[in-house]
Amino acid sequence: MRQQFLNDGIEHLDFHVARKAECQKLSRLILAGDYVPERAQRILVEKSKGLCRQLVIPSVKDAIVLQCLSDALYTEVKGKEPTKCAFFEPKNHKFSIQKSQYGSIPAWLNFQRELFNFSANRNYIVVTDISNYYDSISYTHLRNVISAISGVEECVLDMLIHVLSSLLWQPDYMPRVEIGLPQMNLDAPRLLAHCFLYELDKFLASDPNRDFVRFMDDIDVGVDRISDAKQVLKAMDLVLQTKQVRLNSGKTLILRKDAAAKHFRIFQNSQLDKLTENIALKVASGKQITVEVARIEKAVSSGLAKKSFDHGNGDKVLKRWINLAAKTGAILDTEDLKRVFLNRPSVRENVCSYIMRSDFSISLAKMAAECARSPLLVDDAGRVDLVNYLLEALVPRKGKRHDHIMRVQAACDVQTYFGLYCKMWLQSKYDTTQALLDTIQATQALWASHERMGRLVGSFSPLFADIAEKSSYYTLINQAVNHGVRDVSRFHDALANDPNVFNSMYDSLKATNPSRGTGITHPKFLCLLSALKNKAVPPTQIATLKNNHVLAWKDAYYSDIAKRLSI
């Protein structure tokens, strides 16, 4: 669930603690035929030029059901693919600092490696993908494809398609149509979309005189003659038409070998591989990386000035440079970062990660404020991502930084779901409890009707412990009649008083998260506040929690919260 755009106020740790009982209840509902997917939240994510895709954020229970069904299906289809040139595999779901919306990172790297190999040997490379792929998949065709390649029971397939179709967006209250897979950061729809193209894989692998690789609907074919390139495109499109999908003519390219090398940025990727390896070796041996840091800073600034990242896979190369800058402490120009954030949606998350992991300077805070207030942000995800990462940036001093953070907060429209999420989430760290309480009170009609938003409001309960606003806060959340706010506030209360709940959370809370600037996620910090109030546990455990999170106490805002709560 951490892969989703919206953070849960306590990272669903209440479900995690009671997961055995919760999963037993879920199983009974499924076996009795009474299981119904919950209302999913949808977020607009810009692709380019203002065009947005709708990403579904499922509930934790629906995510578990979908993942179990997906894992079962993958067991059945694994090894039955017609070729080894289609690279996709589910994530391993281990705790990881890396996010990816494409499946496992090794599969993506294997896809790139194979593509680079044959693009150097073939005279022409065909680059294409499928137009509106997920939105165009017919459930009838999908069922036929999956049934033909797997031995999965029909009822399992029925349930998987039923859950996915229930999460698919339908405008207003229009009847559902049997077309389209919801897009989400989970394996289930991706696995189905991957298997849907097995017939195309079989066709492409049937001719030994061409090479090809596929990752989901990104398809690249290597041939030696321009006539072969046109013929294979024609044939591919005809194969896909039998499934009622078509190639995207606007994104289809036929490239010569030298143009393909530039398009895929083979030389630049090779340089980055060597640089990354050299940096790792120097760091491991305790040597300075000053020269490498200067190279990174120059590569980003000069590349943007010369528009070197504007064509082909330039954005992918730019992502790698920015990630490397964050890891090495390279200082990137804030004006460059602002332009990247506003004009390159696919790189926004990397810019946010850089902000969080860098020294949070006044110039970075100013840049964040300007990005948040820009009318170029037409989607929901851009501002949500920025806020999520700002919360976990280490802010050693306030000063002018605070003014800029308040400008970010002022840019959040509380009349919208995501605007309210962003404002309250920011206020929980960077504003006063009275200001947060005022927002909760003024927007009660909006958040009380959404369980997810109620969970966010409930996660603020440790901030109101033992202060003057406590009674007003609890009066508000009790009036709301919202299951989310009730469940989360009760969990915080149990964490602060029940030694059994504390013990169930202890290992999780004492673990640090080096991927975060503060060494801890913001929801986990809120849980930490409750745990540190528990007087029924040994003082040594309380001391361990405090000592393990010394980095968080160096944050000026977290330090003030701890002092206010006498922690």
Each residue's pLDDT tens digit, 196-232: 999 999 999 999 889 999 988 999 999 999 999 999 9
Q: What is the pLDDT of residue 20?
A: 93
The pLDDT > 70 percentage for the chain reads 97
E strand or H helix that includes residue 255: strand 253-256
pLDDT digits 0-9 by tens, 390-411: 999 999 999 999 999 999 999 9
DSSP state of 379: S
Predicted structure pTM score: 0.89
Q: What is the pLDDT of residue 97?
A: 40
Distance (Å, rounded) from C-alpha 360 to C-alpha 355?
7
Residue bearing tokens 């490397």: 324
Q: What angle do CA 118, 119, 122 make, to 5 degrees?
A: 75
Q: What angle do CA 14, 18, 19 make, to 5 degrees?
A: 105
Could you tell me if 177 and 168 are in contact, meaning their C-beta atoms sit under 8 angstroms apart?
no
Q: Please choose, from the candidates 132, 151, 154, the residue with its C-alpha nearest in 3D space to the C-alpha of residue 143.
A: 154
Could you tell me if 190 and 88 are in contact, meaning their C-beta atoms sit under 8 angstroms apart?
yes
Could you tell me if 518 and 551 are in contact, meaning their C-beta atoms sit under 8 angstroms apart?
yes
Q: What angle do CA 40, 46, 48 make, to 5 degrees?
A: 150
**pLDDT tier at 94 (50, 70, 90 boundaries)?**
very low
pLDDT digits 0-9 by tens, 263-314: 989 889 889 999 999 999 999 999 999 999 999 999 999 999 999 999 999 9
What is the identity of the amino acid at 359? D
Token couple for 98: 């890396």
- Secondary structure of residue 516 in the 3-state scheme: coil
Token couple for 253: 């390219």
Statement: residue 98 has pLDDT above 50:
no
**pLDDT tier at 96 (50, 70, 90 boundaries)?**
very low
What does the DSSP assignment read for 319-365? HHHHHHHHHHT----HHHHHHHHHH-GGGHHHHHHHHHHS---HHHH
